[in-house]
Each structure stands twice: as C-alpha cells, then as structure tokens.
Structure 1
Amino acid sequence: MSRPQVPHRPFFHFGNPFQMISLKGSQMTPNLSALLNTFEETLAGRLRKLNPKDNNDVLSLSWMKLAMESLCGTRNDIKTLIAEIDLPVSAWDEKWIDVYLDISVKLLDICIVFSSEIARLNQGHLFLQFVLHNLNSTSSKQFIRARSSVDDWKNHIASKNPRFENCSTIWDKLVESLDLPKVKNSAKGKLLMRAMYGVKVLTVSVCSVFATAFSGSASKLLDLNVAETYMWAQAFNDLQSNVNGEIRNVLSSGRVTVLKELEAVDGIVKHLYPMIQDDVALAEEEAFKNSTSDLERKAQNLSQGLDLLTKEVDGFFQILLTGCKALLSKLRSGGAVSDQMMMGNVEGQVVR
C-alpha cells in the first residue's frame, strides 16, 4: 500500500491526550478480563477485515459499505458487553451516561449529513439517465439535449453540500469526545470506558474517511494515536496508515472526484463529451456506442453502490437511535437521571 511522499503530522501532534484506562487496582476478576479480551479481539478482527487489500478498494462505495457494517457491529458488541458485565443503568455514573448519549447524538447528526450527501449524489444519477435517454433517441436534437444533461450533471457533482460546512462544530466535538471521563474504584466501569474508547476510535476514524470522501477535502481526515496497550492497536494503526496514506495520494493528484465509482463515471463522461459536441462521424460510431454502453454500466454501478450505502447508514442511524431510546427508558424507570436533562441532550441536538 502506497504512502504519502511527505509524512503527515498527526492530528494530535503534541502527543496522545487520551490516557489509557488502567485496570490495575480495580479487582478485575477473571470473568471480566475474559470479557474484555473477547471484546478487544473482536474489535481487532473487524479492523483487520476493514484493512483494504488493494489501493482501489480505498474510497470505493463497497469499502464504505463494509466500514459502516463494522460500525454497526461494534455498537452491537458494546451493547452485548454491557449486558454480559451485568452493569445495570442504575449503577452507571452520570458521566458514563453523558459519554454514551453525547457520542450517540453527535453520530446521529453526522449520519444525517452523510445521508444528505448520498441523496445529492443519487440526484446526479437522474442527469445521467437523461443523457443516456437522449443518446438512445432517434431525434435530431438528441445531442443538444444530451449536452445539456451532461452540463447539468457536471455542475451538480461539482457543487458543494452546505451541510458539511454547517456541521463543523459538531464534528469538532465528536473528536473531543474521545477523551473519556476518569473512573474510580469500579472495575466494571473502567472496563466499560475502555471498551467505549475502542468503539469511538473506530467510529471517529471511519467518519473522518467518509467526510473526506464526500467533501473531496483532507481537512477532516484524522491521524489518531492509540497506545500499544490495547489489543486492537496494531490492527487500527495498520488500517489508518494504509487508508489515510492512499487518500492523501489520491487528493494530491488533483482529482476532482475521489469516490472510485464516481471517478469511473466522470472518466467516461469526459471521453464521451467531445463526441456529442457535433454529429458523430461514421468512423466514430463504434467508439460512440461502446462509450455509451460503458457509461450506462458505470452509472448503474454508482447508483447501486449508493443505494447499498444508504441502507447501511440508515441502519447505523437506527441502531444509534434505538440505543438512546432504550437508555432513556431505563433511566426513566430507575430515576437515575432527570428526564428533562436527558431529553434535552438527545432530542434537542439532532440536526434536522
């Protein structure tokens, strides 16, 4: 896997501000140790599976779908772990509740932004359909209409999604949320915070790649430092190095689009566009037909990839929302935290 020519300074260049959650002196039982090891080994496996085997996998919709599946899996893993360590919500420290809800709310916001960008790209597919319809028409005005649709598609793809600009504060706070609260005299609490840290590192890292892919800018791409004391640290570092390195190579090449399926469509459009400036010459008819067929196939691949990714993002959104509602329901029944405070956190912050 290729690396950037100039070493990129880590996002937290002053060192890792995230203190490793020590379990020493917390009377960690063999059962709790086994649960923690299983959780971290599972997370390491997910990270290794996500590590692309080929440069072409990076920034592809199929890889992004796999990444979102990993996020869904880790959220389910943490839910299972909470049940297995037998730590009822009534025993949670308010700081732990804040951590769980705060990260969930911010991720709900981010999911909405991602969904809006996927929908915008899918709108661009309509212009491609117009192009193909006109190129397959027998009308003498087919090229004029096709050129107009190509121009509409190019302008649409080149436009920016204002939601990315509007969620910068949410994004910054999402990164800040990696700094976990201190836990005293609770082996189960420290285990929970350690596990949450792993989930959040994967989540923030994947979201940074998604934001980079959709915006075409490396400003949101993060380099996180993870202590080697975590069983999944090496798998994460390998993944981050490979993916971030390839992304920076792609962006440094000056490409207008960075999503692989979108780039494939753009390449065919650029090849086809000069042919439809005027009537296609007889000598070019075969090349014209081949390019049109190629555009139809690649446009379909893009559309199908976006549809599959939409389902995964929606699924992740529902997991987050269901988790928040379940926690709030338990808090109401147990009276551990006021409904007004919790409902203000969750229902008042999600971007609409």
Structure 2
Amino acid sequence: MSRPQDPPRSFFPFGNPFRNISPKGTKLSPQLLAVICAFEASLEERLKNLIPKSKDEVLSFSWMTLAMQALRESHNGIKTLMTDLELPVHDWDEKWIDVYLDISVKLLDICIAFSSELSRLNQGHLLLQCTLHHLSSSSSDQFIRACSLLDGWRQHISSKNPRIEKCGSILDNLVGSSDMPKVKKSDKGKVLMQAIYGVKALTVFVCSVFATAFSGSTKNLMDLDVADVYSWAPTFKGLQNLVNEEIKVRFSNGKFTVLYELEAVDSSVRELYPTIRGVVDVIETESHAKIVDKLGGAAENFSQGLDLLAKEVDGFFQVVMSGRDALLSSLRSGATVNDRILGGNRDAQVVN
C-alpha cells in the first residue's frame, strides 16, 4: 500500500501564501480583540490535544478521529464567531464570500473522498469476517477458502481509490487559495479572515495527513509554514513536525500500510497465512488457535475504530454543508449570517 520511493512533493513554488496574512499593526477594539483572542486560544487548545503522547498514536484511528473532531469543532467555531461579530451578509465583501464558498466546496469533495475510502476499508473488513468464519472449522476445504479470502483481502486493501488519488490536486488548490483577501475598512472582516486563516491551516494539515495515509504515498504530505506572529503558530509547527516526521519514518520502513490498526491486522494475517496453506499438523496446534484469536481481536479493533472515524468524517461533512447552505440562504434573503446559521440571537451583544 505504501510506496516509500515516492519523492517528496515541492510546495509553494511561487512563495508561501501562508505568510500573506499578518496581524501585525492591526489595531482592534478591546471587544474585537477579546473575540479573536478567545477564538485562537480555543484553536491552540485543539492543536495541543492532537499532540500524540507516543509515536504509536500517530495515524491510529483514535488519533484520526480526534483530528477530525478538532476540524468539526473549529469550523463550528467559525459559525459562533460570526454570531459574536454580528456581521450581516450585506456587509460581507464579495471576496470573503468567494473564499468561504471556495474552501467549503473543496472540503466537501475531500470529505466524500475520505468517506469512500473508509467504506472501501470496511468492505475489506467483511472479507476478514468471512475468513474468521471459515477458520472456525477444522475442514481442510474451509482452510483453502480462508486462504483465498486472505489473498482477496490483501489485494483489496492494496488497490487504489480513484477519489483519494484526486485529493492531492484538491489540497494543492486549497493551499494555493490560502492568500486571504485583504480587509481595509472592516475590523470585523479582519477578525473573520484571521480566524478563517487559522482554521484553514489546521484543515489543510489534517486533510493532508489523511490523504497521505489513505493513498499510501508521501506526495500528499504538506509542511505548512505559518508566520510566528500567530499565538497558535508554535503549537501548530510542533504538532506538524512531529506527525509528519513519524509518517515519513513509517514510509521509509516500507510497511504495507501506515495506518496503525490496519498494520496490526496485516501483521496477524502474515503470521496466520503460512499455517493454513495445507500444513495440517500446524493448523491443529494450540498456537494456531492463538493466532486466529489474535487476528479476530485485531479485526475487531480495526472495525470499531473505522466506525468511529467514519462518523466523525460524516459529522464534519454536515458542518461544512450546513455552513455553506446557511451563507447561501442568507445571501438570498438578506438576513444576517448568524440568523441563518444558529437560528438567530436577538440578545447577542454587538461587537464594535
């Protein structure tokens, strides 16, 4: 599944768009400053929660689920920020709207690709379940069938998903559009663009890690250079360096897959496979039973982690879709963004 010989992809050939926004020199009111500081503090806390306690956590389904949860919460945070700002749609610059809609449509495409890959992996799990069913019998015919199923499982898992293969170009476009529009007259607009920038950096990082893991190639792995002027930048860089370096190490080892739970399943499959290729005296031993149990446990952990991750990806999809729909509805009706997104908040304090 992995191809360690893939050369690293070169990014930012025309300069680094992630340096084009800088809060230096920005003079905001105390109220607006409090809003953006609170938002960025929450963003940094989510980044800290993603720092793995051990390298084994990197690309485990539990870490990936946490990462997708961080994305969902951060994008929800943008909705809450819009409410705090009470920024009506008619006050939005057309460029801001274009940025928001452009980001959202790319994220929806990526979510669809990730969901299709998780569905494909789940189909592979069904092959494992059938294998374990046949291994519960002592019939040599059933062992032959189990061998065939394991061959099918490895072939299925090793195959490429065309939708995942397209994620690289989507991410390139997402990074290429990271040059946020300049905001000259609206302080609220500056706060909104600065917040979107931070969430976008997190989003590109997480999605590039997912695309790398699912594609089996480091060509989708990105190293984003975020300006140090942001309070969350040091935490972001530390997280990105740790995760990306561990991923590169795993690819350099030439593993079948860099996904932790999937590697555990494959390890059990490789251990079990020789014992069911017609070696009758071996398959009847207690050792064989332990190997089968080991595969069963690994397959169960894989399935449970897969289900939780799939739910989070779907949840993130729904957040992006609802935000996009809310903005479009507000544009048609002339209502405020927050009226549509969060059902309105007449008692919310106006931030000047």
- The verdict on a shared fold, with TM-score over 0.5 as the criterion, is yes
Matched, 1:89 2:89: yes
Identity %: 58
* Residue aligned with 2:228, SS: coil
**Whole-Å Cα distance in 2 between the matches of residues 280 and 171 of structure 1?**
51
**2:234 aligned with 1:234:** yes
Cα displacement string for residues 223-265 of structure 1 (whole angstroms, at most 9, x for unaligned residues): 0001111010011000000000000000011111110000000
Q: Which amino acid aligns with 1:111?
A: C
Please give the per-residue CA displacement for 1:45-86, whole angstroms capped at 9, x wherever unaligned.
110111111000001111000000000010111111111012
SS in 2 for 1:141: helix
Shift, 1:287, TM fit: 1.0
Q: Match of 1:173?
A: 173
Correspondence 1:191-202 to 2 at 5 A: 191-202=191-202
Could you list the runs of 5+ residues in structure 2 that have no partner in the other structure? 1-7, 337-352
Name the CA distance, whole Å, in 1 between partners of 2:182 and 2:334.
24
Q: 1:57, 1:156 → 2: CA distance? A: 25
8 Å contact 2:275–2:283 — kept in the other structure?
A: no
TM-score by length of 1: 0.89
CA displacement at 1:13 relative to structure 2: 6.8
CA shift, 1:278, in A, is: 1.1
3-state DSSP of counterpart to 1:210: helix
Q: For residue 167 of structure 1, report the CA deviation from its aligned partner.
A: 4.4
Quick one: distance in 2 between partners of 1:13 and 1:251? 25
Matches within 5 A, 1:247-326: 247-281=247-281, 285-326=285-326
Please name the residue that 1:341 is paired with.
none
Secondary structure of the equivalent of 1:143? helix
Give the direction of change, closer, same or farther, for the CA distance of 1:250–1:13 in structure 2 (3 Å limit): farther
Partners in 2 of 1:21 and 1:87 — Cα distance?
Answer: 22
Q: Which moves more between the two structures, 85-94 or 219-228?
A: 85-94
Amino acid at match of 2:239: L
> In 1, Cα distance between the equivalents of 2:270 and 2:181?
52
CA contact (8 A) 2:282 2:288 kept: no
Q: Name the CA distance, whole Å, in 1 between partners of 2:77 and 2:335.
A: 26
Quick check: 1:59–1:213 contact (8 Å CA) kept in 2?
yes
Structure 2 residue matching 1:21: 3-state secondary structure: coil
Residues 282 and 186 of structure 1: CA distance in aligned 2, closer, same or farther (over 3 Å): closer
| TM-score when normalising by structure 2 | 0.89
Give the RMSD, CA atoms, in angstroms.
1.8
- Counterpart of 1:334 in structure 2 is 334
Say whether the 8 Å CA contact 1:21–1:190 is kept in structure 2.
no
Residues 76-125 of structure 1 deviation map (CA, whole Å, 9 limit, x = unaligned): 11111111012111210010011111101100000000000000000001
Aligned to 2:347: none
- Corresponding residue for residue 75 of structure 1: 75
Gaps of 5+ in 1: 1-7, 337-352
Rounded to whole Å, the distance in 1 between the matches of 2:110 and 2:230 is 27
